[in-house]
Amino acid sequence: MTARFFVLLVALATPLHAETWSGKADITFDGTSTLHAWGGKVRAEPFQADVTMAAGKPRSVKAEVIVKASDMDTAESKRDANMRKAMKVTDHPLITGKIDAKFSEIAADGTPTALPVELNLLGKPQKVTGTISNWKLKGKTATFDLDFPVSMKTSGISVPTVLLFIKVGDGVKVHASVILTRN
């Protein structure tokens, strides 16, 4: 009994410290229009994340993820040109996501379920909350998926109507497949 108490006391008294992990993310985005659904992909620039772990589970993370807006690709050149124009990529070439989170929403298996992100599009910061799923830690590599919605209106993205009736929907679903590797 005394030994267990001592181990618990040491575990509680041991400060947690952040370790630097290298990160990469493949991102897809999906939206709608009056006529059809559309989507695309982009890869985030390699990034660093300061991650605090306890018992093999993440407890906090701090990172800045950068995406080059001009690299967003819908596999349709005319749509890509319109998207880049609407996103003013010449004036706002980068999309950033700043993360500074202590995980308070934890799943039954001890992994976080939500990740708050300060997203900056067109120079306008906005807070979004991503849903974390498929968390896996194997050796020095952690993988997970992150999903969050983006409102084009809130982001300041204005897409003109085409032929008086074709409109792009406001909501865009963003999905990121993230890989973190402990340095």
DSSP-derived pairing of the beta strands 124-138 and 114-121: antiparallel
What's residue 12's pLDDT? 45
pLDDT of 69 higher than 60: yes
What is the CATH code for 16-182?
A: 2.40.128.110
pLDDT band at 106 (very low <50, low <70, confident <90, very high): confident
> Where are the chain's structural domains?
16-182
Q: For residue 101, give the nearest of 48, 142, 54, 61 by alpha carbon.
A: 61
pLDDT of 19 higher than 80: yes
For 40-61, write each residue's pLDDT tens digit: 999 999 999 999 998 888 999 9
Q: What is the pTM of this model?
A: 0.87
